[in-house]
Amino acid sequence: MSEEIDGGVEPGAPIWPVFGDLMSVLLGAFVLILVSVIGVQLELSNKLEQEVKQRQAETQRRKTLEQALAGPLAAGRVTLVNGRIGISGNVLFALNSDQLQPQGRDLLKSLAGPLSAYLQANDETLMVSGFTDDQRLREGNRRFADNWELSAQRALTVTRGLIDAGVPAASVFAAAFGSQQPVSSNADDQGRAKNRRVEIAPIPRPSTATVKPGA
């Protein structure tokens, strides 16, 4: 009876081959996980390194721009915040006008040299942005439909002024923001005066890659 029960069992079958196969599988899984973790760490390390380099380059660009504009900054004719050159609208234009005042024209001439030198050393272009306060234009002003058009014309006037003063035409363009993006409250005259401004910001030059037809 016992011989019949024991007949289907191989008491002498070794378990080491099975154990070895299991360990091989576990070792392979561990190696895959380790390689994956190392890959993620390398990717994060590369991203961090690139971010640090970008920040260092941005800091260096700002220092270079500050050095280029040392004269106008020291004289208080312009401001430089986060790489953006700010000029009060009162310095450049009369109220509701896009015609440069003499002091505004002189200021642009003083900026043209440092900006041109900066652009030669950096692969960047200048964005000239016009801004207004939130007040409606005076009645009877038929030159501009609204603040958007006024800010656009002012930005274009400053752009042309810089070009006339020597900044390469291919390195500067105009943009308009109207009463959007105020830097101060429009609740009082002082705040509105700050919002009536023109900003000049160096930005990376657009890619010259050819666009495929139909893209």
Q: What is the pLDDT, as a whole number, of residue 140?
A: 59
State the Cα–Cα distance between residues 37 and 33, nearest whole angstrom.
Answer: 6
Q: What is the DSSP letter of 184?
A: S
Which range has the top average pLDDT, 91-105, 131-145, 197-211? 91-105
State the Cα–Cα distance between residues 76 and 117, nearest whole angstrom.
Answer: 21
pLDDT in tens, 2-26: 455 555 555 555 666 666 667 777 7
> How many angstroms from the chain centroid is the CA of residue 196?
23
Whole-number average pLDDT of the chain? 83
Q: What is the pLDDT, as a whole number, of residue 14?
A: 64
Q: Please give the CATH architecture assigned to the domain spanning 69-204.
A: 2-Layer Sandwich (3.30)
Q: What is the pLDDT, as a whole number, of residue 210?
A: 44
pLDDT in tens, 135-165: 988 765 678 889 999 999 999 999 999 999 9
Q: What is the DSSP letter of 93?
A: B
State the Cα–Cα distance between residues 116 and 171, nearest whole angstrom.
Answer: 9
Tokens of 196: 């009536």
Residue 70: pLDDT band by 50, 70, 90 thresholds? confident
Domain ranges for the chain:
16-60, 69-204
Q: What is the DSSP letter of 145?
A: S
Mean pLDDT of 57-86: 81
